[in-house]
Structure 1
Amino acid sequence: MTMIKAVIFDMDGLMFNTEIMFKKQFRQALDKADIHCPDSVIERMIGCDSREIIEFENTYPGISDVMSYCQKTRVNFFFEFFKNPGDANMPGLYELIQYLEKKPMDYAIASSSAKEDILKFINYAGFELHPKQIVSGKEGFPSKPAPDIFLATAKRMGYKPEECLVLEDSKHGITAAFKAGMKSIFIPDQIKPDEEMKKYIQETRNNLSEVIEYLERNA
């Protein structure tokens, strides 16, 4: 079996608790726009692509404008929602990063967020992170579940896809990792796997610190 040589992190909902933040931000914006929809719709908006947003727009007119507004204001809302550095960190983030840097093992961040936003968020973690690469979906990659962003991240780090471990909390991310030919671990946050997603889940851990045990056996 090919050993793991590098780790690729998603960011939203995986490294930082931004999906809980998004749900509150989105609900407030919906209320302001007088658009009424259940929490289940908001949950499905997390990480959805443009085609899905169009479908929601047909049922809830104006919801795409709310989504656009939330995307534009999310950074300001982030610093309002998380008052102190480190408040947004997902469980086990510090422990896993310290493990990777001590080992040492290269790691990268591959996120749909803009690179400047990624940098703002990781600089607010309350400790230093030193990813070898930061790759943004805003560079023009097709959205996950297309594997392009993961393949580009591996190439920039100098590793083969099969040498990389992807950490994800979303259906699209787990599917993209599978299509890229990479190992992956699903860290649940707001998404409950459906039957289609279960086909692509290779490993599941409760939090990021539990990834250390996996790496001890496979890296």
Structure 2
Amino acid sequence: MRDFDAVVFDMDGVIFDSERAVLECWLELADKYAIPNIMEPYLACTGTTMARTREIMMETYGPDFPYDEYAAEASVMFHERYDGGRLPMKRGVREILEYLKSHGKRIALASSTRRQTVINQLRDAKILDYFDEVVTGDMVERSKPEPDIFLLACEKVGVAPTRAFAIEDSYNGIRAAHSGKLRPIMVPDLRPADAEMKELAEVVLEDLEAVLAYLL
């Protein structure tokens, strides 16, 4: 086994296939309301908080863009489809959590999503009890790509950042983990690793099964 004390997981796009699910909702809205080029700003929002997402969308489409109305509609669509444990999990989630827990490693979650949503989704998937600490976007002032959320997660589990892996799919998440001096592992979801990501991440791997094999 590699020498480390903790693993800090992102949630959306790492634990759950939720970024793709939310994207599908926004693509439907884009078609319904003729919103142009939704993919580019949506991808720029991955890994950020709700507040930063709103800023990016308003910067992209201008001050008259009815973001709040569209976001509320997208939220209703998402929850109708995926609440109650229906949100698909990524391959290898239970296996890596079980392995880390059985080998005495600290496990934290660092998600930019608001806390109640995170807790509900982890509980519905019956994996909440694996996590020693859950840190969310509404618990820190600055969102990813700033390192605050990862540093708080490490503080809460009592582990130095340099002794923790961070598993992320988003560019902002990898930037945040690297800035915080954790050991970033990128598992790409909607966006493949570019040259910057390959430089910032310790390794880029296909899925959590590959991550587990890497940690062994």
When normalised by structure 2's length, the TM-score is 0.85
1:64 paired to 2:67 = yes
Output the amino acid matched with 1:179.
S
Say whether 1:172 aligns with 2:175.
no
The 5 A counterparts of 1:76-115 are 76-82=76-82, 85=85, 87-115=87-115
Tell me, yes or no, if the aligned pair for 1:21 and 1:81 is still in contact at 8 Å: no
**CA deviations over 1:172-217 (Å, ceiling 9, x no partner):** 100111111111110011012333333312211111122222222x
Runs of 4+ in 1 over 4 A off after TM superposition: none
| CA deviation map 1:76-103 (0-9, x unaligned) | 5444333773651011111111111222
* Residues in 2 aligned to 1:36 and 1:158: alpha-carbon distance in whole angstroms: 46
Identity score, percent: 27
Q: 1:158 to 1:209 in 2, by over 3 A?
A: same
Alignment match, 1:187? 187
Aligned length: 211
After superposition, the Cα gap between the structure-2 partners of 1:112 and 1:45, relative to the gap in structure 1 and judged at 3 Å, is closer
Measure, in 1, the Cα distance between the counterparts of 2:41 and 2:56: 11
Superposed CA offset, 1:20-66 (max 9, x none): 111111122333433233534433343353553343123x9526335
Q: Are 1:52 and 2:51 matched, yes or no?
A: no
* Farther off after superposition, 121-130 or 96-105: 121-130
Aligned 1:9-158 pairs, distance under 5 A? 9-48=9-48, 49-50=52-53, 51-58=55-62, 62=65, 64-65=67-68, 68-69=71-72, 74=75, 76-82=76-82, 85=85, 87-126=87-126, 129-158=129-158
1:109, 1:133 within 8 Å by CA — same for their partners in 2? yes
Give the partner amino acid of 2:59.
Answer: E
- CA–CA distance in structure 1, aligned partners of residues 66 and 202 of structure 2: 34
Show CA shifts across 1:157-177 (max 9, x none): 111111111000000100111
Instruction: Tell me which moved more, 80-89 or 204-213.
Output: 80-89
Q: Name the TM-score, length of structure 1 as normaliser.
A: 0.84
Structure 2: unaligned runs, 5 residues or longer: none
Amino acid at match of 2:105: M
Q: Matches of 1:66 and 1:24 in 2, distance apart? A: 17
For 1:108 and 1:31, how far apart are their aligned partners in 2?
38
Q: Distance in 1 between matches of 2:83 and 2:39?
A: 25
